[in-house]
Structure 1
């Protein structure tokens, strides 16, 4: 189930919080490689770590895995966000093979110029009413805690992961309107600066779409959607959801054991009839 892409974008991992799905991310990093890996902000959650220390072994393993990829030749670019804004003071420097940049530019295999930016710079609440952002973050953390317990119960019942917090967010009209406005503002900024598109994070809404001729891509997150944005070797962009990919791979691995038994039930003549159209 391992795969190599031209580029992988990850954002909003929120290491240092109980809501971070570090185990899923570590599994993703083990099975997916790329020539370039972009970390598009909120990788470590400094806001929560200031309140209380939370750092499991899996969180450390994710950091070590990224550093190992950098040592093995992956170009790693880190664009800090608002939750890890302390790293912005080091923009322009490289540490451990990881380039820290306030923003970045990426050119796809088919020639598109993409602006890489976290996106909080275009969030009015973050920029002008930061205390409200802290309140919202606390409420969001509470919802993620409920989400974690809810999925623990689903796991015990043999059900797959499902994000309660993401479902609630996308059902609230104001949240839906905010997401739409954010996407169009980012696309307009990319156009104003002469880019063909923009890749961002911040709002935890994975997406790849065209907005008035501008490519808009959002990496998603690793607390709700467990998603990444990838570029295939032909330049095509795609959102991948790790829980779905892992489930599909498990299904594919289980199929060969059943196929021979099914094939054995076919008479030779019937098998020739089945394959004849393909041969022509």
Structure 2
């Protein structure tokens, strides 16, 4: 099927977590078929090195995401990869190019309207990640458990004809400490943008997609591709908007399920 992709000046994508069983790599591939840009900035945690160390999991759709990005780089799209805490091994290679993809610790993006945005992953401002690594890994394990619950609930909701709903995102916002953490994270990231004398900041890390203004500084969080399937797009006038692809997840999930059923039927015919 031919796709007519919507064109943007820049796409900002973070927290794909390739290698995690919760990663929605197939949804991201579908998103990239429908959205193209002159520049793509990957805002950290693209590859989940933490989970790959615990248990290797690299299905074909992870390769498909990598190949899709490499093809776009070959076609002239500028792609900048800013590592996060889960893919921190790439922080040893700033300025290096891999297949046309440039690695940078952070960058300042100048939008079409002249506004300047500091772009970084954001774990630098997470005191747990920076100073309590064991606690961070335990929290990561608990998050995996919440995602498993989320997957089971949404399987049931799909059979009942109900739309996708993120249990883990809902639970996060019910816990006062989590809400306070999000607010404090936003505050310190905005202060860093102010210190760097820019008009805004674009980050990821906390899996909470939003575009907000704080005392003259625009705070933009790209969200993730584990739960919310979100990205931020800059149009050719410099306007920033949040794109949510989870509304299409049932369609993609149905295609994936049909593909698996067809594969099992083929295997049965071959075995007969």
TM-score, length basis structure 2: 0.88
Checking the alignment, whether the CA contact within 8 Å between 1:115 and 1:197 is kept in structure 2 is yes
Pair 246,145 (structure 1): closer, same or farther in 2 beyond 3 Å: closer
Choose from 104, 107, 111 the match for 1:108. Answer: 111
Partner of 1:272: none
- Using the alignment, how far apart are the partners of 2:206 and 2:218 within structure 1? 17
Checking the alignment, whether the CA contact within 8 Å between 1:93 and 1:99 is kept in structure 2 is yes
Partner of 2:178: 175
- Using the alignment, how far apart are the partners of 1:7 and 1:16 within structure 2? 25
Partner of 2:33: 30
SS in 2 for 1:77: strand
Checking the alignment, whether the CA contact within 8 Å between 1:38 and 1:78 is kept in structure 2 is yes
Choose from 56, 59, 63 the match for 2:59. Answer: 56
- Using the alignment, how far apart are the partners of 1:147 and 1:169 within structure 2? 12
Checking the alignment, whether the CA contact within 8 Å between 2:194 and 2:217 is kept in structure 1 is yes
- Using the alignment, how far apart are the partners of 2:249 and 2:11 within structure 1? 17
Task: Give the number of equivalent residue pairs.
Answer: 248
Larger radius of gyration: 1
- Whether 1:43 aligns to 2:46 is yes
Q: CA RMSD in A?
A: 1.4
Residue 247 of structure 1, CA deviation: 8.4
Matches within 5 A, 1:84-99: 84-99=87-102
Partner of 2:189: 186
Partner of 2:85: 82
- Using the alignment, how far apart are the partners of 2:128 and 2:249 within structure 1? 36
Residue 151 of structure 1, CA deviation: 1.6
- Using the alignment, how far apart are the partners of 1:243 and 1:45 within structure 2? 21
- Whether 1:166 aligns to 2:145 is no
Partner of 2:11: 8
Residue 157 of structure 1, CA deviation: 2.4
- Using the alignment, how far apart are the partners of 1:154 and 1:58 within structure 2? 24
Alignment deviations for residues 59-91 of structure 1 (CA, whole Å, 9 cap, x no partner): 111111111111111100000000000011111
- Whether 1:117 aligns to 2:120 is yes
Residue 156 of structure 1, CA deviation: 2.3
Checking the alignment, whether the CA contact within 8 Å between 1:12 and 1:220 is kept in structure 2 is yes
- Using the alignment, how far apart are the partners of 1:173 and 1:238 within structure 2? 28
- Using the alignment, how far apart are the partners of 1:197 and 1:230 within structure 2? 15
Residue 110 of structure 1, CA deviation: 0.5
Checking the alignment, whether the CA contact within 8 Å between 1:13 and 1:222 is kept in structure 2 is yes
Pair 16,240 (structure 1): closer, same or farther in 2 beyond 3 Å: same
Gaps of 5+ in 1: 249-280
Partner of 2:223: 220
Matches within 5 A, 1:191-210: 191-210=194-213
Alignment deviations for residues 132-156 of structure 1 (CA, whole Å, 9 cap, x no partner): 0000000001111111122222222
Checking the alignment, whether the CA contact within 8 Å between 1:11 and 1:39 is kept in structure 2 is yes
Identify which range, 123-132 or 155-164, moves more after superposition: 155-164
SS in 1 for 2:85: coil
Checking the alignment, whether the CA contact within 8 Å between 1:18 and 1:145 is kept in structure 2 is no
Gaps of 5+ in 2: 252-272
SS in 2 for 1:150: helix
- Whether 1:19 aligns to 2:22 is yes
Alignment deviations for residues 169-194 of structure 1 (CA, whole Å, 9 cap, x no partner): 11111101100110111111001111
